[in-house]
Amino acid sequence: MLIFTNVGVFISPTLINYLSGLMGSQQPDMNMRVAAYGFGFLLLVAIFTLIYQKVVQGGKYFVRKG
């Protein structure tokens, strides 16, 4: 787990700079926007996952009984 954390810490600035360059700017404000878009995307995935677990699967993994 620690190795993957270190790899993520090493790769994330490079990836954010690359994505900022694709959007047309290397300025720090664009880097923050790219990071915010990524966090927003992860938030939407988490919300839809929770809704799916609760509604479609009947809360099988969302609520523990017993």
> Tokens standing for 32?
């923050």
Q: Quick: pLDDT tens for 40-60.
A: 999 999 999 888 888 876 766
Tell me how far apart the alpha carbons of residues 41 and 46 are, in angstroms, rounded to a whole number.
Answer: 9
pLDDT of 63 reads: 55
Count, residues in the chain: 66
Q: Pick from 35, 30, 28, 33: which is nearest to 12 by CA? A: 35
Using DSSP's 3-state secondary structure scheme, residue 21 falls into helix
pLDDT of the residue at 61: 60
What pLDDT, on a 0 to 100 scale, did the predictor assign at position 62?
A: 54
> Is residue 64's pLDDT more than 70?
no
CA distance 12 to 3: 14
Q: What is the per-residue pLDDT across 6-42, written as a single tens digit (0 to 9) for each?
A: 999 999 999 999 999 898 888 888 999 999 999 999 9
